[in-house]
Amino acid sequence: MAMNIKRPNGTEDVLPKDVYKWNTIEKIARDTAESFGFSEIRIPTFENTELFLRSVGETTDVVQKEMYTVKAKETEFTLRPEGTAGTIRAMLQNGLLNEALPQKVFYMLSCFRHERPQAGRLREFHQFGVEMAGSPAPSADAEVILLAKTLLDRLGLKNIELHVNSIGCPECRAKYHKALREYFEPHKEELCDTCKERLVKNPMRLLDCKSPICKEIGKDAPVILDYLCDECKDHFEQFKSYLAKLGVDFIVDPKIVRGLDYYTKTVFEFITTEIGAQGTVCAGGRYDGLIEQLGGQHIPALGFGMGFERLLLVMDKQGCEYLTPKKCDIYFATMGDAALEKAMELVKGLREFGYRAEYDLMGRGVKAQMKYANKIGAVYTMVIGDNELNDGKARLKEMESGEEKEMLLNEKFTANFENEYFNKILDVIDDENQSMFAFTGEDK
């Protein structure tokens, strides 16, 4: 009996025809982060569960409802629900925080949360993120936000608003928690079960509840900005002045508290209204106590995460430009075994120079081979048979224009092809005055 096995609910396949969109985000994200002095880090897909209990927070939705946790003999592991905790663990364990500060790293990884799948919210999702450890200065906050904005701008996104807030330090947050409890206590019986527990353990999390009833109750709740201590207030004011100097527009939004417990002081979100309810494309902030919480010294840190799936939703909706998908540079149609062997020899040389070169592997006739070459978007084709082998030359056909040029089938073939290819590309650039996505030798 045939098995009908499908991918798990809340996951997606990225097919070859779409992967160029992901490659665009990955390339521009990597280039942007490196231009800001960040280096790539790679961490395990799963961690000891305790890491997320201590960092993300036991009262968060992530820990209470969404983590994928498995027991292997005596050990309990959890698939990472976000990138910060594992990255900070890696920085601590490998001694990066003993080196010159600030330490600046970026990552691209998959995360896992068990929640109701919908557009822009999957059970396996992908993130680009950065973490900076070592600087307590508000200029570091502005720098990290500038990195995020620069990336969004380079991707071509429009109508994205930056919302910022300060959620203070433990000292001023204690006063704010007291005020929130006093505000919500009279409405305790109306709150959802989760928020009843939050009221005791972490009342700020009530402001992040998605329940319409809890949202309505909380709309006139006290605002954290009214409870900031002098240090947090000064930090926030200076941070805002740096954003203004950098020409970064922002909206102060006291409702932003972020969904994870490790945040302190600055928090921010880049928001769009163009993809429905899941409008946050980038979020982050400062977490000055997290490293100490995980067993390190008191080292301030901050960062952000940016979801690939949501970026793609917005980019598609706004008609943003992607890097051109890589096509077959040249396809050899062959007639007979001797021609096939010659094509294999020529293809090998071309590939060593970075060209995408192909030849027939199906034993098709020439007509079918040319049809296939057209389907895969080959830029050039060349037919090789006994006559071409005897003459030591064949005709190179540029598929779009139909123009043909005779080329020798000798040891200089690759160099001659390269001259033809680059002349064609230079003509295209001259004719169209292409944008940042124009062909470069690096992208060949």
Other C-beta atoms lying within 10 Å of the C-beta of residue 324: 13
Handedness of CA 231, 235, 236, 238 (dihedral sign): positive
Secondary structure, 3-state, the chain: CCCCCCCCCCCCCCCCCCHHHHHHHHHHHHHHHHHCCCEECCCCCEEEHHHHHHHCCCCCHHHHHHCCEEEECCEEEEECCCCHHHHHHHHHHCCHHHCCCCEEEEEEEEEECCCCCECCECCEEEEEEEEEECCCCHHHHHHHHHHHHHHHHHHCCCCCEEEEEECCCHHHHHHHHHHHHHHHHHHHHHCCHHHHHHHHHCHHHHHHCCCHHHHHHHCCCCCHHHHCCHHHHHHHHHHHHHHHHCCCCCEECCCCCCCCCCCEEEEEEEECCCCCCCCEEEEEEECCCHHHHCCCCCCCEEEEEEEHHHHHHHHHHHCCCCCCCCCCCEEEEECCHHHHHHHHHHHHHHHHCCCCEEECCCCCCHHHHHHHHHHCCCCEEEEECHHHHHHCEEEEEECCCCCEEEEECCCCHHHHHHHHHHHHHHHHHHHHCCCCCCCCHHHC
What is the arithmetic mean of pLDDT over 308-312?
94
For residues 272 and 156, the answer to whether their CB atoms sit within 8 Å is no
pLDDT at 442: 44
Q: Could you tell me the domains of the chain?
A: 19-169+229-318 (3.30.930.10), 330-430 (3.40.50.800)
User: Which pLDDT score, from 0 to 100, does residue 352 have?
Assistant: 95
pLDDT above 60 (res 440): no
- Whether residue 317 contacts residue 337, with contact meaning beta carbons closer than 8 Å, is answered with no
207-238: per-residue pLDDT in tens? 878 788 888 898 889 999 999 999 999 999 99
pLDDT in tens, 350-361: 999 999 999 999
The predicted model scores a pTM of: 0.87
At residue 261, the pLDDT reads 65
How confident is the model at residue 91, as a pLDDT? 97
Given a contact cutoff of 8 angstroms between Cβ atoms, the answer to whether 113 and 126 are in contact is: no
Mean pLDDT of 98-102: 97
Torsion region of 184: left, alpha or beta (phi above 0 gives left; psi -120 to 50 gives alpha): alpha
Tokens of 424: 């064609």
Q: Return the exposure string of 231-270: e unless at least 16 CB atoms fall within 10 Å of the residue's CB, then b.
A: ebeebbeebbebbeeeebebeeebebbbebbbbbbbbbbb
**Mean pLDDT of all residues belonging to the chain:** 89
Q: What Å distances lie between residue 383 and 140, 360, 411, CA to CA? A: 59, 11, 18
382-404 tens-digit pLDDT:
999 999 999 999 999 999 999 99
Q: Would you state the pLDDT for residue 436?
A: 41
* pLDDT for position 366: 97
Mean pLDDT score, 68-93 = 91
One-letter amino acid at 271 equals I
Interatomic CA distance for residues 334 and 364, integer angstroms: 9
pLDDT 10s digits, 110-159? 999 887 777 667 899 999 999 999 999 999 999 999 999 999 999 999 99
Average pLDDT over residues 19-28: 96
The confidence score (pLDDT) of residue 260 equals 62
Per-residue model confidence (pLDDT) at position 62: 62
Tokens of 126: 């992908």
pLDDT at 337: 97
Residue 162 CA to residue 145 CA, distance in Å, equals 9
Give me the phi and psi of 363, to 5 degrees please: 70, 30
Beta pairing, strands 404-408 & 393-398: antiparallel
- Alpha carbon separation from 90 to 80, 101, 314, 430 (Å, rounded): 13, 16, 32, 48
Structure tokens at 354: 């970075």
